[in-house]
A and B are shown apart, each in its own frame.
Chain A
Amino acid sequence: MTERTNAIIIGAGHNGLVCAAYLARAGLKVLCLESADSAGGMSAPRTIGDDYHFPGLAQAVYPVSSAIRRDLKLDQFGYVPGEAIDTVALDANGKHLTIGTNSVSGEGLPESDEKAYPIFREQYLAYTKTLRPLFDNKPPRLKDMAFADKATLAKLGWNIRFGLGREAMNEFLRVAAINIYDVLNEAFEDDRLKGAIAVDAVMGSAMGPRTPGTVLTWLQRLQGELNGPMSLQSGGRSQLVHALTQSAEDAGATVRFNTQVNKILIENGKAFGVELSTGEMLKARLIISNADPRSTFTRLVGAPRLDAMFANRVTQIRGTGVVAKLQLALSGKPEFTGLPEPQMGGRLLVAPSMKYVERAFNHSKYDEYSEHPVLDIAIPSLHNNALAPEGHHVMSVNVAFVPYGLEGGWEEQKSTFAYKVISQLGQYSPNLKSLVVDHELLTPLDIEKQFGAVQGHWHHGELSIHQSFMMRPLHGAAQYDTPIEKLFLCGAGSHPGGGLTGLPGRNAAKRILKLGGAK
């Protein structure tokens, strides 16, 4: 029994580490328990064989917010956001589009689109900026509102009305809850461009471009861009997780690996410790779960110790993963038809049109995989040659849409599917197939098994409008505290949601300290 621990954090994913670092800096004695053998959860580096290193599930990321960087002294611990990359919308005929933050170019792109793109971007960045107060704070409670909640809403209201101005406000309110399909069709003509932007709106969600609410998911993703440009995670000491671990440990937090929490111990409605898979019991004043809210409440707490309606709402949380990860170990550099080499270091998308994306999504609704999936490709070894043996490369691919509960089961069909994806890649990169020396495919089912994210959902629950803000992950646990006294949530399932932002971890820590910390 470690009586002196103030706070136990379940899971050393990046949000758990952010929360740990904040609390440790506030003087709490923090113990972070991680079931895997290294920190980072879904963003932890992975290795195939001995020689091929991959950045983890999160391959293209935005920098964390300057507040987190500053507060946790991340730069001091080696954190360097990667170099800015472009997005390339791949075309089967080699007429690729290069999409940057402020410009887009490529053969056959209508001039009107080229002109409209920077204006459109600016417009949506302004929208996402107005939402910033919501993301940086705990979601306001609408009933029994505290002063801080009123301040958040006042800032939001001010931003929408006066930050945007009247016309932009009207437009923002029009698009906020509709789908990205309509919005992009209004703005652009080029299918490649629309397909590529649509990917950003739906990747990670069980949504197609025509699903309502996909403008909101896109705005949530654009939040990252307010912190700086997108880059590839390319491993090494500069990667966020490494710096976070250092920062947390420097502040006095301890991370214990290979430690599986089986149960949150509760007495008289109050959490007081955890029970490990070994039977060992650890006590602490605060228990903070970075685990998926569904597994936190159903597995670690257990429905019998919750009120019936709340327990029922937990089972109703929507969030089925639809993205698989294919990691390829390559014996040489792949070539993409018509793509100049410098651009290969960017983010390469196979999403030639919104229809293509929607069709790929449709299959996942019926528990089928698509023969023509959306592919989001990165070759991190182009940025860091230590990731693979000399001359060799690693390629990391997000494959959407891939059902969690594939009809007929994954076991038998996994290698067929991997082969199909590689063949699909072959349409754009003819030499790829001959270079593959090894591969790993993580289906949503594998992601659930390995990372504990229920149904393999990246964000621990869909970022749909009914599961956002004061409804995230669910009513009754949306301010990081839960119906169980002294039990808190700090993971992607909480506001503002998934992505490598650290915001749920930071907001949770702030909330915990506000509520009295370990007192």
Chain B
Amino acid sequence: MSPRNQQKPTTKSSAVPTAALRPKRQLHQIAANVLRLAKDRGIQETEVHIEESIEALTRFANNTIHQHVAEQGLVVSLRTSVDGRTARVTTNRIEEDALRAALEDSLSLASHQPKDPQLLPMPGKQKYRAVRRFHVATAALTAEERARAVKNACQLAERRGQVAAGIFSSGQGQSVLVNSRGLATAYRQTHSAFSVTMQQDSATSWAKASAADVRRFDPLRLAKIASEKAARARNPVELAPGKFTVILEPAAVLDLVGLLFYDFAATAVADKRSCLSGRIGKPVFGENVTISDDVYHPEQLGAPFDGEGIPRQRVVLVDRGVVKSLVYSRRSAKQVGIKPTGHGFALPNEYGEAPLNLVVAGGNTSLEEMVASTDRGLLVTRLWYIREVDPYEKIMTGMTRDGLFLVEKGKIAHAVRNFRFNQSVLEMLRNVQCLGPAGHAAGEEASEMVAPPMKICNFNFSEVTKF
């Protein structure tokens, strides 16, 4: 491969225009090219999924920007299906020769496998409910604007004798999904996030927000929250591990409850690897716990269709503690004779489906009220390195991080050294005493979701660390 022409490099203006997504028609044109090539080749069924993204991230630590990146890319992922055999090939080369080669590779992969009698024909045309998640203000955000916001956070830290670290990211993306049976859909969104850790002496705290519209959060306000909590987090006292009443901020709830998501997949239940195997229809959680999957919720992000282009449905997974429903791909739905819920992964795959837009219903107890009503407990800012210890009891282990505080007699008393927990999420959600208002929660472990703060009794901390 060699450059297409031999122009001399330009030395003109240093201004770089903000990157922009291609017009949607260009993506449709690429998809149409693939379908045409596939038809010419006599391929029975073809699916084309094109994704384009523009991402940028400003990263800071020690009160300075140390990494600052931007990327732009387009990926064509195509699937052919012939005589009950299917395979996927993905490329970021869009020249006709490359697309033709990808089709041939897909055919070759598909033809060298046993026939799958349960493989369904590709779906036809669908009806979609529109969502609007593209905000020009986010798409137009420049490196310099992110750098200035970061500078403000770093200056705040310096004024307070603290050290700031974090990220300010923004991006935009679009996708087009079509198949040879007439299905066609498209989606685009923007996203942005500001995450900040403030350190004072050896104490740290953290705050994060994310949204499709960058104007929904104020980076400096988040920096102030983290800064004030870091100041309070100094001189932590070591407590003996044991069972505590905990007040989990939304990020901590997200990181625990969010890791339940695959358990709600019909395929996981059929494979007997879900903690809900044998528990459907039963009161697994407390009566104050209701969980749904709802891509249309105004606080959610994500496309309103699944990996095969089936429209996503709102599904009530847990209703007042009782496991009511699972999510289904076309394949898993057919196996039990119901309609798919629009949660399937792109085919072929072994995992089936999953809810990716969890919404945990909130209550009306504010975080402050939770603290005020607690005689002795722990306020948890954030959790870290959460892993599954036991898949059926859903015991998760992990650490508290960036601000753990003892609450005594309705007030925050002092900081506490971080604990390790080993806690069943099922049991935890039976021990919820009260919930706060639900909102878009951003953590670092599980996917973003809508979650409230929670006050929970008998949360099991097994060991303590050195800070």
Q: Do A and B bind each other?
A: no
Question: Which residue numbers of A lie inside 8 Å of B, CB to CB?
Answer: none
